[in-house]
Structure 1
Amino acid sequence: MNCFEEDIPVPLSPMADYFSSSLINVFVIAVAESEIPIDDSKVQPLLKNKLLPICSRFSSIMVADKDGKKVWKQVDVNLQDHVKIPKFTSTNGTLKSYDECFDEYMSKIAMEQFREDKPLWELHLFKYPTSKCEGTFIFKLHHALGDGYSFMTTFLSIVESADNPSVQIKFPSSKSSTSTNAMPKQLSQTASMFKSAFDFGWSLLKNSLIPDEQTPLRSGHEDVGFRPMSIVNVSLSLDNIKEVKNKLKVSVNDVLVGAIFFGIQLYMKAKNHRSRTAETTALVLLNTRNIRAYISAKEMHATNSKAPWGNRFHFMHVPVPMLSDKKELNPLEFVLDAKKSINRQRNSLAVPMTGVLLRLLNQIKGPQAATNYMYKIMNNASLSISHMVGPAEKVTLANHPIKGFYFMTVGLSQSMTVTITSYMGYLRVGFGVEEGFIDEYQLKSCFEISLQMILEAAKNLPKK
């Protein structure tokens, strides 16, 4: 499929179909923080000359064909329909008041649905200074358009190097910073088959019959994906995380997932002592492409591409370790447990087997049956975690130097979503939580405490 030369309706991929239903409707919000005030006159040329040519999905709408199946149909794009500039008049002009306006605006657009007669993306320009930047670009994209890998490739394709705009920025690779971006290549024979069968059976039970218990992290509301969301994030030094990584011989992703697990257990303990022993499951996203490094959009659309455009991922079920007195005294065990669980799932056939099951459901019982199963996968777990590797160098967007970058997935059928984004030597960990159910600021504080305890524990380890 060539995304640049489509002139006839093209069927949605199964995953795009699942994520654009009445049961599941998922968006990705990507935030780029500008060092200078936003000049909106430079935005439309960027969208016209750089964004739209990347993929015809950005100029297509979803329609039903004669058989009732959803397809992509290209339309003319009026860019003014897609650029939103909010106005605020009831503020006192302080950074704190604009911070509050920004948080409220993020929650507002997270809830809004796209119009069906327009391509499924928007760019919001928050032209007010906050405590973090002088202005904010907010891209909102429907997950049916593609996954995080596709959207990061898009971002890399529309930005320029801050040091030398005439030079193509270097596409980063996730090889050194995450352990969840490739399908298993080799499995030992008998032991791996037994482990895979056990893991698949456990996943099947979790997805179908055994939801996580209701806890301070999981409300159990069936419509949680359509409820208001609050978003907070934490900025971390990548070098600090790498110190723990090197001490424990794990990945950056292992350290972060371990810190997230420890942080949410501290939060549950603070909210309800009994919940520390509740079974809690995280869905860690696994990129199923054959390569880890990013490639250009043109290469993604090539025939037989190793990293094709679209939604190419599955979920790994990773149990969150319970909080024992021993683990609270040695939080590094959360990191080691995260590494063990993620490696087991990554090297198991349970993930591709779940993909096969979804395809069979789709073919035999129809898209709605597969969508129902996908909904149960998400709703029966307590949270999702996804990790994207961003540019290592400073970039500009429409001639605006970007000082910070992060993303958030909204619309998942869970009370809590965690995202991790790297940019320019820093990490942003974002928490999207069910508004009014989870205290986002207490959760953020618990994560910061968790991370500090892990960093201190790693420093105290003897040198080898």
Structure 2
Amino acid sequence: MAVNPIKSVLYYVSALLVLLGLILLLPVLLPISLYFRIYRLVLKRMILNSPDAVKGHADLVPAGDAIWLQDSPENKAIINAIAVLKGRPDIAKLQQILMDRLINAKNSKGELLYRKLQQKFVKKYHRDVFIDEDNFDIKDHVYQYEGALPKTKNDVQKIISMLSWRAIDPEKAAWEIIVIPEIPVDDPDDGSCEYAFLLRFHHALADGMSLVKLFITRIVDKDPSDQKITNKNFGGQNKVAQLAMAALFGPYILLERILWPADDSALHGPEVSGEKNVAWSRPIDLALIKKIKNAAKATVNDVLMACLGGALRKHLTDNDLPVPESMLAMIPVDLRGPVMDEALENHFGLVYLPLPTNIEDPMQRLKYTKSNMDAIKSSPEPLVSELMIKYSMSRFPTALTRPLYKAISEKSTMVLSNVPGPQHVLRLGGQAITTLIFWPPQKANVGLGISILSYAGEVRMGLIADKAVIADPGPIPELFEQQIKTMAKLLNVKND
């Protein structure tokens, strides 16, 4: 059973010793930090006075965004998401909607809200910079898929898989929406039709929560019943308490993450190929999951994480692969306040959650998972990671930051992102959106990305896997569904 490390006396002593060591090194570290800070400020002034800034528009990429530009050809930092809509597409109408609601949207001062959606990433004086596209055209970013139309769900998955790891033109703003004009429907005899579009946004533009906010408040049709997205305050603590804990435990957490051994399993370790396959589950009733969590005296996330651990365990045993004690998942934690603003940004920290894969009994696995989840809820780790990223990326050169974050990223088997979506059906151009699924990007040699998104009373799991790690990820979402059904049966929970 996991123990909350903050309550461990040994953890306190270790953290204090590391903090003391850091304080003793400050006479050496502070001048180095100051040198790099001055160096970066000089570069900033040179960039803002450059011809590009004078004749057009140039902005420095914020430190919290710039880290995502340290991606690789094998693991591009692109968030992929699919929306399925009823009816037939009208590309010109969609392009105009996005121009009106997004590209030309302005604040009360008459300034563009999302100028970065018309800007490309470039390097100037070793800094990442936003520069206006030479000739922005919405048609370069919103266009129709020209390949053969899918006949089956498997065909749709193949198309999304192929598009998911494709590079975005570096001479354009790093986002695109690709419309698949027709996809197979569950009941073709009723005369209905559906289409889909794949949204692809580079992570340096924004994180998942920011993009969900953008989608709900700016892209889809307005609905009088829409409510503001609100967040539960991270850790349930005030800002002063969070910062105090981060200051005390931060140096130790950073050292621990650097020295932590990397996961060793069949799903982690091989060099990634860069070619990806995607899969997703069928819709799972959110009401059923809530009944399970009530019966088990747990949370929805506890249940979902335990079932995910069970699905990965079953995948390994079904394929006669060794089962490790656990698999480490790197999880983004949103650090915004209770009410989100409209900015496109990255504002999250990271925690590492061990998913128990060596526990066969579902209820014991849930108990273990809940203990781990409770421990990380009070951990300062998310805030520590965000502060570390912003501090290091605003001062030190890529030659130092890239290997540091590569080493930290390589510890985990997967990136796991859980995003709450709206619980009513959205519409775009008057057409109902029936399905929303997304896939998070990975870093370094991590070859597995898993998402869980709730929308309109349903939950779906999305999975993207490098072909070198999992050739066919399709069965894993099905195993996830089975784990939920098994847990419901064990708890004598029935869906209405």
- Structural mapping, 1:1-400, within 5 Å: 8-23=57-72, 25-52=76-103, 53=105, 54-65=113-124, 67-75=125-133, 76-89=135-148, 95-96=151-152, 99-131=153-185, 134-160=194-220, 167=224, 169-173=226-230, 175=232, 182-183=234-235, 185=237, 197=249, 201=252, 204-213=255-264, 215-221=265-271, 223=272, 226-272=274-320, 274-277=322-325, 279-291=326-338, 293=339, 295=340, 299-301=341-343, 309-324=344-359, 328-329=360-361, 331-362=362-393, 365-400=396-431
Q: CA deviation at 1:460?
A: 6.6
- Tell me which of 453, 460, 464 is aligned to 1:421: 453
* 1:446 matched to 2:440: no
CA RMSD in angstroms, aligned pairs only: 3.0
Greater CA drift, 268-277 or 313-322 = 268-277
Structure 2 segments unaligned to the other structure (5+ residues): 1-55, 106-112, 187-192
Of the structure 1 ranges 358-367 and 117-126, higher mean CA displacement relative to structure 2 is found in 358-367
Q: Give the fraction of aligned pairs with identical amino acids, expressed as a percent.
A: 17
Q: Offset of 1:203 from its aligned partner?
A: 6.3
| TM-score, normalising length: structure 1 | 0.81
**Number of positions where the alignment pairs a residue of Structure 1 with one of Structure 2:** 419
Question: For residues 404-454 of structure 1, what are the alpha-carbon distances to aligned partners after superposition, in whole Å with 9 as ceiling and x for unaligned?
Answer: 112112343422111011111011111111225323123223222222111
Deviation at 1:41, TM superposition (A): 2.9
Going from structure 1 to structure 2, the CA distance change for 1:32 and 1:363 (only over 3 Å counts) comes to closer
The one-letter amino acid of 1:455's match is A
Conservation of the 8 A alpha-carbon contact between 2:81 and 2:439:
yes
Q: 1:398 to 1:417 in 2, by over 3 A?
A: same
Partner of 1:435: 467
- Helix, strand or coil for the counterpart of 2:268? coil
Letter of the structure 2 residue corresponding to residue 423 of structure 1: Y
User: 1:360 Cα shift?
Assistant: 4.6
For 2:65, give the aligned amino acid.
A
**Partner deviation per Cα, 1:193-231 (whole Å, 9 max, x = no partner):** 79x84x974664444451100x2322432x45x332333
Give 1:172 deviation, angstroms.
Answer: 4.2
Tell whether the 8 Å contact from 2:84 to 2:195 is kept in structure 1 after alignment. Answer: yes
Partners of 1:12 and 1:403 in 2: CA distance: 35
Say yes or no: does 1:402 pair with 2:410.
Answer: no
Equivalent residues of 1:35, 1:400 under 8 A apart: yes
The offset of 1:364, in angstroms, is 5.5
**What runs of 5+ residues in structure 1 fail to find an aligned partner?**
1-6, 176-180, 302-308
Question: Would you say the 8 A contact 2:122–2:128 is kept in 1?
Answer: yes
| Matched residue, 2:16 | none
- CA distance in 1 between partners of 2:202 and 2:395 (Å): 27
- Deviation per residue, 1:263-307 (Å, 9 max, x gap): 111212222353243x4211121111122x5x4xxx434xxxxxx
Conservation of the 8 A alpha-carbon contact between 1:384 and 1:417: yes
Cα distance in 2 between the residues matched to 1:80 and 1:363? 35
Query: Aligned partners of 1:448, 1:220: CA distance in 2, in Å?
Result: 28
Task: Say whether the 8 Å CA contact 1:28–1:409 is kept in structure 2.
Answer: yes
Asked which structure has the greater CA Rg, the reply is 2
AA partner of residue 137 (structure 1)? F
Deviation at 1:78, TM superposition (A): 0.3
- SS of the residue corresponding to residue 488 of structure 2 reads helix
Residue 178 (structure 1) aligns with = none
SS at match of 2:484: helix
Is 2:180–2:196's contact at 8 Å kept on the other side of the alignment?
yes
Q: Distance in 1 between matches of 2:223 and 2:160?
A: 33
CA distance in 2 between counterparts of 1:159 and 1:300 reads 12
> Cα 1:452–1:290, aligned 2, differ >3 Å: closer, same or farther?
same
Measured in 1, the distance between the counterparts of 2:442 and 2:331 equals 16
